[in-house]
Amino acid sequence: MSAPHLPKVAGIDPEVPVSTQTAAPLREIPAAPGAFIQDRLAGWVSDLTTLHELTERLASTATLDAALNELLHAGAALVGARRGLLVLERAGTTTPSTTLGLGLGPADLGHLETVERSATALGRVLDGPPEAAAARGGIATPDLLGDQDLDPRHREVATRLGYAASYALPLASEAAGRLGGAVWFYDEPGEPSEKQRHLVGLYARYATEHLARLTELERARADIATVAEELLPSRLPRIPGVRLAARHRTGPQGGGDWYDALPLPDHALGLAVGSVGGSGPSAMAAMGRLRASLRAYAVMEGEDPVAVLSDLELLLRLTEPARTATALFAYCEPATRKVVLAGAGHTPPLVLGDRRCEYVETTLSAPLGMLACWEAPSVEFSPAPGETVLLYTDGLLRRTGDAMDRAFARLHSAAASVPKADRHDPAAVTDHVLRAMLPDGLDRSDSTEDVVVLAAHFD
């Protein structure tokens, strides 16, 4: 008689023999197979987040000095160091090298400069093939004082400054070439880990590209400033009875604000300020042409400022019909303290003395190039002995960020607050007004406005 068939249960084959042995009880729960991978991924995400934050901070820097400071601090954080040194020097250029320290004073930098360059890791990074140092992940010296071959002077400086290890890295990339190098110092023997070297290497390559862009930008700004200075008077004339002072700042893109002071026949003096619309090389070239033309017209008919500006307007309309400009020309006779001026859409002068501080009431007129034929009546006034006439461009007002009416009031207040002891010095007057109007300084890099201030003090 055959054995009875066991009933079938879903998923179970009753004919498969069941083991009679009992498995040992689990004493601990084994880790999930992916826990190690998850930890690695979490570490990578954390590293990438840190690197992203540091590169974002570097990208937000707009000047070379700010970028170098950020690079030094970020590199120190990535390699776990407290102090560092960076040298920026581009091969094939006449630009002097830039040295910047982190946690190192001027005296410390002086001591480091006494060490022979080839005896330091930074020197080998700067002078050797950049790809060699980059391929090794930088040059690490984990125990400087324990190195028997260390240069004696280097050992002396390291002992004096209190660092025992260093890590140097070239600032180089395939596109930008080598711009310099950086070294970070450790207080105790040690060196960055492989992961730290990898992160700081990625950061340094990005930083090199950013530094190359900022270097080119600053070189272009310097060239623009040089051209602008060459287009303006190299020195102010000396005329009996009047003393002059001028301050000028060209925007980073190059602007069209200008000034002039030229001696005229019969011991007269011509003063002019103006602003050409637009920015960049074309505006600078137009500014140079207008200034040269005004000088010629002033010599021929300077006693009539209206005629001078009328000729200038005709020239602008015929040669550059799409361009506009503002201008103010004053014909001065210092011996009699007589001033005759005409303005074309320009801001009015300000007269400052012991008894008054007020704007000169000029007639309202359009800028040059806006009307088919420009003409406006001139204004005549006589500064008292010891008074200063202040000419300026609207860039001074716009740089304040205030509305124009408030900017005019602010300028009036700045002029009125000049100390009485300084009111007889035109240079002191201009400097005081600029400090009061622009507390951040005339050379603030984030402003695109040109600034011109011309002061004439009548004795």
Q: 232-458 has which fold? A: Phosphatase 2c; domain 1 (3.60.40)
Tokens of 342: 């005409």
**Distance separating alpha carbons of residues 198 and 215, to the nearest angstrom:** 26
**Whose CA is closest to 191, among 212, 164, 216?**
164
**Distance separating alpha carbons of residues 232 and 6, to the nearest angstrom:** 110
Hey, what CATH class is 52-223 in? alpha beta
Domains 52-223 and 232-458 share a fold: no
**Distance separating alpha carbons of residues 216 and 8, to the nearest angstrom:** 83
Give the pLDDT of residue 374: 65
Helices (H), 173-280: 194-231
Give the pLDDT of residue 252: 65
Give the pLDDT of residue 296: 93
Q: Tokens 């060490």 appear where?
A: 115
Give the pLDDT of residue 90: 66
Along the 459 residues of the chain, how does pLDDT read in single tens digits? 444 444 443 444 445 444 455 555 556 655 555 676 767 777 777 888 888 999 999 999 988 899 999 999 999 999 999 999 999 986 555 556 889 999 999 999 999 999 999 999 999 988 877 565 555 568 999 999 999 889 999 999 999 999 999 999 999 888 888 899 999 999 999 999 999 999 999 999 999 999 999 988 888 777 777 776 777 787 899 999 999 999 988 776 667 889 999 999 999 999 999 999 877 778 888 888 899 999 999 999 989 999 999 999 888 888 888 888 999 999 999 999 999 999 998 999 999 999 999 999 887 788 888 866 667 789 999 999 999 999 999 999 998 889 999 999 999 999 999 999 999 999 999 999 999 998 877 666 456 788 999 999 999
**Distance separating alpha carbons of residues 248 and 259, to the nearest angstrom:** 9
DSSP state, 233?
-
**Distance separating alpha carbons of residues 299 and 14, to the nearest angstrom:** 120
Give the pLDDT of residue 96: 66
**Whose CA is closest to 304, among 375, 391, 360, 238?**
375
- How many Cα atoms occupy the beta-carbon half-sphere of 412 within 13 Å? 13
Starting at the edge strand found earlier in the chain, the sheet holding 255-264 runs 255-264, 268-279, 325-333, 338-344, 379-381
CA-angle at 133, arms to 130 and 138, nearest 5°: 130
Domain ranges of the chain: 52-223, 232-458
